[in-house]
Structure formats: structure tokens, C-alpha cells
Structure 1
Amino acid sequence: MKPVIALVGRPNVGKSTLFNRLTKTRDAIVADYAGLTRDRHYGNGKQGQHEFIVIDTGGFEPDATSGIYKEMAKQTRQAVAEADVVLFVVDARAGLSAQDYEIGKYLRKLGKPCVLVANKSEGMTAGAQLVEFFELGLGEVFPISAAHGQGIRPLVDLALGPLVPPDDGLEEIADEPGVIKLAVAGRPNVGKSTLINTWLGEERLVAFDLPGTTRDAISVPFERKGQRFELIDTAGLRRKGQVFEAIEKFSVVKTLQAIESASVVLLLIDATQGVTDQDAHIAGYVLESGRAVVVAVNKWDAMDDDYARELVKRSIETRLGFLKFAALHMISAQKRQGLGPVWDSIAQAHKAANCKMSTPVLTRLLLEAVQFQTPKKTGMYRPKLRYAHQGGMNPPIIIIHGNSLEHVTDAYKRFLEGRFRKEFNLIGTPLRIQMKSSSNPYADKDD
């Protein structure tokens, strides 16, 4: 499970700049849950072999009692609750403020692992100018410059140190063969709980749960028509006697971690609201994670006229166009309509994600594609595609070898992707195409 780092501090101390630095992106918004945030953003960070989730928060005023500042404080508290370690960011140039005292007091009471980070420290003497921050009672002050990238690597090492086991925690428990790990993802109130309760009631659950820590997703094994599944819950399953109850809970971190843990994700959309920003962000995270995906539009029975239904379909085409490889189903979890075909698509997506593609077949398809449509010439260079082989599964990766492949356009890659998908019936899984150009043996030779 990826560790979670939350960035906390008053406004304008550079939290967002640090967030961008940790996630190595410009805007750094992996999931911006509008309506819930002001502002709480989630991103993926990686340093060396260690991956982690970063949460950026709005300016924190712990004692705010009204208006937008109260909402921002609420979101920051949620981020701190979800985190394994907190980076409390202060402004080294502006010095200590009353607001910093209040935040420090809150974090001390909480007792959660915390690193005090003095941002904007470039060109400053670590000792004399940072000594006032020791008054916060949070131990050593760690000077950095997020804007210039100074001190970032040691900071991450310090923050992750207690969270990473001595063996680096890089090994993962192998998936049990024949079991499909399934996560149901979607924003609150789209009907995840209803769907899960319907499944667990219908499919004669092999009833036991495997709770981990309070933040871990709960895993529920069950079987359908001889196929074993492991449901990674994101809605909040609780066991009451011999009956499972699903309680709609929204923890963004829990959802992101469930997506990471799954082999197939069922993305649930609410037909009555169409595709929202939150839906698009969750879908983007699924794609970025390389997970096989099936899209289901719930509450389809509530759409009683053709025009409303057409609008929903158009919103899916426009806003989720990047998931056009995924099977789409219109369902009603409450009325148990359309659920059978969803299971077939889940099994199909899992099979596609783990598809084995032979080198001779891939190379034949590549050469046929080149013969049908030659890649465009860029300046003096025309890419030459020579052969292809499989570089990985879940998601499938195809590596193409040749010369000047850095000049292959995205449009041509999409053309090749379409050919490969059709041949291997890759429905429901992302497909990665990587280009590897052969080195020129004469490039470094003297004339």
C-alpha cells in the first residue's frame, strides 16, 4: 500500500509548489474533487523505487467557524486523517505567524508523524534565521526551496523513512491465480453501496472479510458461475452478524489505493447527473494506473425519455473519450437490471489485460500497418519500424524497434493501437506502445 503524505500550512507558504515538485507535474492535479475541496488535491509521487500519494490542501485555519475558511479547515483535517505523515510547511522568509502557532498546536495534539518544513529557504543560513520555528514544538526544522528544488530528495527520504520497511517494501504478494481483483469506483451517491449489496445478496457470498488498518480497503471474496472474484470495497463494507452492510463513505485515498490494488475497475456513473468533473478525474486516475476498466451507468431506469438518455451518452463520449476502449453498460443496481453483461465485460477486460501476444504476430501486424500507411516524414527523418514484441502485461505493453522512432506522431501511434486492439480483441484494457530507436554505431565516431 502506498504511503500517504499530506501538505499542511497557512495560505501562500508554497504548498502547491512543493506538491508540483513531489508529483513532477505542472498543475499536479490528479484528482481535484470539486464540491468537496477548497482545495484538496491528490497526486502520485515517486522517488527512486518508492511511490507515494501526496495530498495538497488549502490554507489551514484550525479555528475557522464560518464561510470558506471553515470548509478549507474541514478538508485539511480530512487530509491529515488520511495521511501517514504530515509535512507542515512554513514560510522561512515571512517568519513565524500566529496562524502557524495554531496549526502547530493542532498537529501536536493529534500526535501524527510530522515534519516541519521551512520553505523559501534558498540563500538563508539554516541556524540563525530558522531558530524561531523551534517555538512550534515540532522538533527539527527542515529547510527547503520548493521553487528551486533544493532539499526535496532528503525531505522525502526523511518523511518516508519510518514508513518503508528495511527490505524497501518493493515486493508485493502475488495475486492468487484465477482470482479477479475488482474495485468499484465512483463518486459518492452513484449507487456503489446499492450495487455491492445487490451482488452480495444475489451471489451467495463466501462470507468473511479481511479488514486491515482503518484506512485499508476491505476485501470480500465471492464466486460467480465458477469464477472467483475479490471485491475491493470503496464504499465502506461493514459486517453485522452474518449480513454485510455497505455504507457510502468517501475517502479519496481509499478509492485511489483500491484502484491501485485491483486488476479490474468498475467505474460507476450516475445517469441522472451525467459525467461530472469528479467522474472524469477518477477515470483519468484509472487510466494512469493502467488498470482494466468497465464503465457502468447506474440509475438508467430513472431516465424516462430518449432525449435525456441521448444527452448522457453524449457526455460519456465527450468527457470519457479516453476510455473508448472500455465496455459500456446501462444498469439499475436497485432494480437489478443489466448486471449480467457487466460480469461478462469484467472477465473480458481481465483476460485482455493479461493477453499474451507473440512476437511474430506483433511484427506481422506492424509491417502490414506500415505497408498500409507509412509514418509521416519529419524534416530529414522518416521513422522506420522494423519489429515489435510484448514488453509486459496488465496493462499490455508493446515495444516497437526501429530507427528515428522519436518522430512517430501520436496520431500514428493511435493508428497502430487500433490495429493491435482489433487483432487481439483488447476490449477493456489500456494499451501502452513504446518506441525504441536503434543507436547509430557511427554517431560517436570521428570523421
Structure 2
Amino acid sequence: MTDLRFKPVVALVGRTNVGKSTLFNRLTRSRAALVANISGLTRDRHYGEGRMGDQPFIVVDTGGFEPVSTRGILVEMARQTTQAIAESDVVLFLVDGREGINAHDHEIARLLRKSGQRVLLTVNKAEGMRDHADLAQFHELGLGEPHAISAAHGDGVSALVDDALAPLLVVSKPVDDESSEADRAAEGAAKAPDHRIKLAIAGRPNVGKSTLINTLVGEERVIAYDLPGTTRDAIEIEFQRGERRYTLIDTAGLRRRGKVFETVEKFSVIKTLQAIEAANVVLLLIDAQDGVSDQDAHIAGFALEAGRALVVGLNKWDAVTQEQREWVQREYDRKLRFLSFARVVHMSALKGQGVSAVLKAVEAAHAAAFAKLSTPKLTRILQAAVEQQPPPRKGIFRPKMRYAHQGGQNPPRIIIHGNALDAVPDSYRRYLEGQFRDAFKLLGTPLSVEFKSSHNPYLKDAES
């Protein structure tokens, strides 16, 4: 049995027009999507969530790479591509199977060999290139056996991804059928849910992430230490405040030097995405002096898509005027209105103002994300909501909702059973979400409401 202990990062690199974006779109088709499109990076790096079979990964689409260019934007594109290579676990170096090798391919290959990263040479647009003689020329790049694919048609893509991810898979230890009951009990205890809060602190550079972390771990009666062995140099810091245990997942590149924390405010999209995936609560810090940016919306959108509980901290609130505060609030309502479930805290990480309120909001969001919702109460709330506002008819039939039960946590997942529920519109789903959220006081966490229809053998006859 295998599992991925972290989401590996696959970077797509190559000169222009070799099919990188086509392959990116194919790899990210399950979630469609661009999860970060940041000002200044739009010409060279797009980040998306890929999946082949049951193997998730982060895929990075880079711009056309001209490493020896000295012309304007091409220099920046080369720099960003170089950073993507450094952040990746494996690089797919795409070349054009129809055009063959050119000078740019040789230069890129030289830099990839020098980088020390694991590279899979990928010959795209290789439809019909069954003859190994057709691929022989690509051996001169010195990057091993070429992988022939067609990103447009999907030929060879699954095998390529399997080869790319294979060394990153961890083989789980098989369970011995003759193991003692004590061993089984110990294994079960190890898998029991941990009640510490895994909190990712995310946001743009210089919004105060490291200042907040230093304020938290520097509090009196706080125990803090680095947790070694985390992947990709991500740093996890455990600390305890009162009876509550936390694991802070830093996205700002926190390092420890003796007893002094040295912070590097260097924004990395990949680290942020991985930190959000590893957390169960995300604290999104926004600089009140700069206002709400599209980048803030991208980070919040990924946290929402990942199903993470979320708290928003408007930092440096003490440094803005009343007029600026009103402007920030308008910007927040306009750009982050999809975060209506999240609690907003006005704070100053530097002065420690509002930090206690932030932690209380984080605890409440964590409790809501892991809330246990009883089936009888869910069903009563559902029946009351339907009685107050029945679902709209579709044709001569009205969807009939019978009962509801909890289908999961983090985020809470509610499954409603009944007949003809495929016809329930999204507006009514949102109405039910609001009813459940108000009844259970689920503040700070997304909420998923799903419908499961019973099969009615007479429905088809009645419609005909």
C-alpha cells in the first residue's frame, strides 16, 4: 500500500510553444484550475491541483524559458522559472517532438543538469512516434530516456506521471495478521485524532506573519520548539497556551538559530498551498494599510476549496485612520464576500492587540470544523426549514426531503436523503446551509450540503 505524505510539486519547464499549458490543463482537469494567478507572475507561473488516479500533486506551469535572454520581461520569466525549478520535487522538461532539438533546449538542459533536480525528459507532440529511432536524437540532451507523450490527446501522460511520482510514494507498513491485540490497540491509538490545532498563517509578504508568530511564541508561559523532519523546509512550531496546544505552520520561511528566530519574508506560493493543505485552520492576515488584494482573494479561495476553517486578521489596524478603515471594509466586502462564514478580527501583531481575540476565533473555527451533528437534530432542522420554505417544484414534482445526517468533518458535511433531489437549485442549497449553520452556530468553517436521491421506479412512468 502506498500513500503520499505530502503533495509533491511537479514543474513544467521548456521553451515556448512546446505544449506546457496543454499538459497543465490536462493534469489539472479534475479541479480545473488556476489556484494562484499573482500579479507579476502571470506570464510565467500558474499553480494548479493535479490528480492522476488517486495521486494528488501540485503542478506548476512556467512561461517560455529563455535562460540566456537579456531582453525585458524575458529576464523576469527566466528568473521565475528558475525559482519554480528550485521549489519542485520533479521537473518535466518538455521538448517538441515534431521540431526536434534546438539551441534553447540544449541551454535549458544544461541548467537543469546543474540544478541537481530530478528531471524527466518529455517529448511532446509525439503522436505516431513509435519508432525509437525517432526519439534517439533527444538522448544528446543528457537527461536520460525520453518519455514520448501527446498532451493534446493524452497519450503517455498517465505513464509519465506515474514515473514522475513513483520515487515520492511511501510504502505503508503492512499489518501482520498475527500481531497481538496490544499492538493493534497501540496502532489505533496512534491514528486517533489529535486535538491540537494545526494553524497555518498565510498572507502576502510583509503583512506581519512572522511578527505574529514571534508574538505568539514569545508570550509568557508559552512552550515553543521546532518540529524537525517536515517536508520541503516547511517549519512547524508547537506551542501551548493555557490548556490549548497548537501547531503553527509557517508560510514565511521561519528559521531557528539558537534561541533567536530569524524570519525571511519571502512569499512562496507552493509553501502556502502546502501549509493550507496540512492545516485544519487557516489564519489569513491582511495588511490594513494596503487593503485587500487579488492575491488575498486567491489564498482565501484555495483555503475554501480545500475545505479549511478560516479566520481573517486585519493587521496593523492601529496604524490606519477611520477613513482608511471604512475603505478596507468596503474592499473586504467586495472582494471577499464569499468568506461570509469567517470571523474578522482587527489586530496589531506588533503591539499584541487583538491576538487573544484571534486565538479565540481560531478555537471557535476549529470546534465548528470538527463539530458532531446529531441525526435527529439535523432532521428536525431540515423539516423546519422545508416547512418554512419548501423547495421549488420542477415540472409537476416537488423534491421531497426525508432526513439528514452528518457525512464528515473538517469541513462539516451534511447529507440529505429524499426523492427527486437532483432538481434542488443551488439557491435552496445555500438556504439550507444557512439554516444548519445558524442552528449549530458553525462560525468559521465552510459547510457542505449534499443530496442523495432514492430511486423511484414509478417516476419514469409518471413522467411519460
Class of the TM-score when normalised by the shorter of the 2 chains: over 0.9
The reply to whether residue 31 of structure 1 matches residue 31 of structure 2 is no
Structure 2 equivalent of residue 280 of structure 1: 297
Are 2:242 and 1:225 equivalent residues in the alignment? yes
Q: Secondary structure at the match of 2:380?
A: helix
- In structure 2, the partner of 1:427 is 443
For the 8 Å contact 2:403–2:417, the answer to whether it is kept is yes
How big is each residue's C-alpha offset from its partner over 1:83-110, in whole Å with a ceiling of 9 and x where there is no partner? 1111011121222221111111111222
Whichever residue aligns with residue 289 of structure 2, its letter is: T
The answer to whether the 8 A contact 2:31-2:50 is kept is no
**Alpha-carbon separation, structure 2, partners of 1:127 and 1:443:** 57
What is the rounded CA distance, in whole Å, between the counterparts of 2:407 and 2:230 in structure 1?
Answer: 35
8 Å Cα contact 1:203/1:222 also seen in 2: no
| Alignment counterpart, residue 7 of structure 1, candidates 8, 12, 25 | 12
1:296 matches 2:313:
yes
1:213 to 1:26, Cα distance in 2 relative to 1, 3 A:
closer
Say which is worse superposed, 222-231 or 160-169, in terms of deviation: 160-169
Q: Deviations over 1:351-405 (max 9, x none)?
A: 0000000111111111111111111223354322211110000110001111221
Task: Verify the 8 A CA contact 2:418 2:453 in the aligned structure 1.
Answer: yes
Q: Is the 8 A contact 1:269 1:298 kept in 2?
A: yes
Question: Residue 77 of structure 1: SS of its match in structure 2?
Answer: helix
Q: Which residue of 1 aligns with 2:60?
A: 55
Cα deviation digits, residues 156-185 of structure 1 (max 9, x gap): 11111111123399x997476331111100
Q: Distance in 1 between matches of 2:148 and 2:459?
A: 44
In structure 2, what is the Cα distance between the partners aligned to 1:395 and 1:48?
23
Alignment of 1:303-318 (within 5 A): 303-304=320-321, 306-318=322-334
Cα–Cα, structure 1 residues 217 and 245, in superposed 2: closer, same or farther, change >3 Å? Answer: same
How far apart are the structure 2 equivalents of 1:228 and 1:396?
Answer: 22
Partner of 1:351: 367
Asked if the contact 1:205–1:221 (Cα under 8 Å) also holds between the matched residues in 2, the reply is no
- CA 1:72–1:21 in structure 2 vs 1: closer, same or farther (change >3 Å)? same
- Counterparts of 1:442 and 1:138, CA distance in 2: 63
Aligned to 1:364: 380
Describe the SS at the equivalent of 2:218.
Answer: helix
* Runs of 5+ consecutive residues of structure 2 not aligned to the other structure: 1-5, 175-186
Say if 1:100 and 1:442 are closer, same or farther in 2 by CA, change over 3 A.
Answer: farther
> What is the CA–CA distance in structure 2 between the aligned matches of 1:34 and 1:325, rounded to whole Å?
27
**Inter-CA distance 203–317: structure 2 relative to 1 (3 Å threshold):** farther
Question: Pick from 264, 275, 282: which aligns with 1:247?
Answer: 264
Q: TM-score, normalised by structure 2?
A: 0.90
Report the equivalent of 2:348: 332
In the TM superposition, 1:140-151 aligns within 5 A as 140-151=145-156
Q: Is structure 2 residue 92 aligned with structure 1 residue 87?
A: yes
Which secondary structure state, in structure 1, belongs to the residue aligned with residue 232 of structure 2? Answer: coil
Residue 276 to residue 334, structure 1, CA distance change in 2 (3 Å): same
The aligned amino acid for 2:391 is P
Percent of aligned positions with the same letter in both sequences?
61
Deviation at 1:67, TM superposition (A): 1.4
2:168 and 2:250 map into 1 onto residues whose CA distance is: 24
- Name the structure 2 match of 1:41: 46
- The letter of the residue matching 1:370 is V
Aligned-pair Cα RMSD in Å:
2.3
Q: Any idea what SS the aligned residue of 1:178 has?
A: coil
CA gap 1:250/1:126 in 2 versus in 1, 3 angstroms: farther
Give yes or no for the alignment of 1:114 onto 2:119. yes
Question: What letter is aligned with 2:323?
Answer: Y
Instruction: Report the alpha carbon displacement of residue 48 of structure 1 after superposing the two structures with TM.
Output: 2.2
Aligned runs of 1:349-428 on 2, under 5 Å?
A: 349-428=365-444
Whether contact under 8 Å (1:203, 1:223) holds in the other structure is no
Q: Which moved more, 1:123-132 or 1:11-20?
A: 123-132
Contact map agreement 2:282 2:308 (CA 8 A) in 1: yes
The C-alpha deviation readout for 1:228-249, integer Å capped at 9, x for no partner, is: 1111111122223223233322
On the 8 A contact 1:269/1:275 being kept in 2, the answer is yes
Check conservation: 1:238, 1:245, Cα contact below 8 A: yes
User: Following superposition of structure 1 onto structure 2, how do residues 116-195 of structure 1 map, counting pairs within 5 Å?
Assistant: 116-167=121-172, 174=191, 177-195=194-212
Give 1:203 shift: 4.4
Q: TM-score scaled by structure 1?
A: 0.94
Q: What is the number of equivalent residue pairs in this alignment?
A: 444
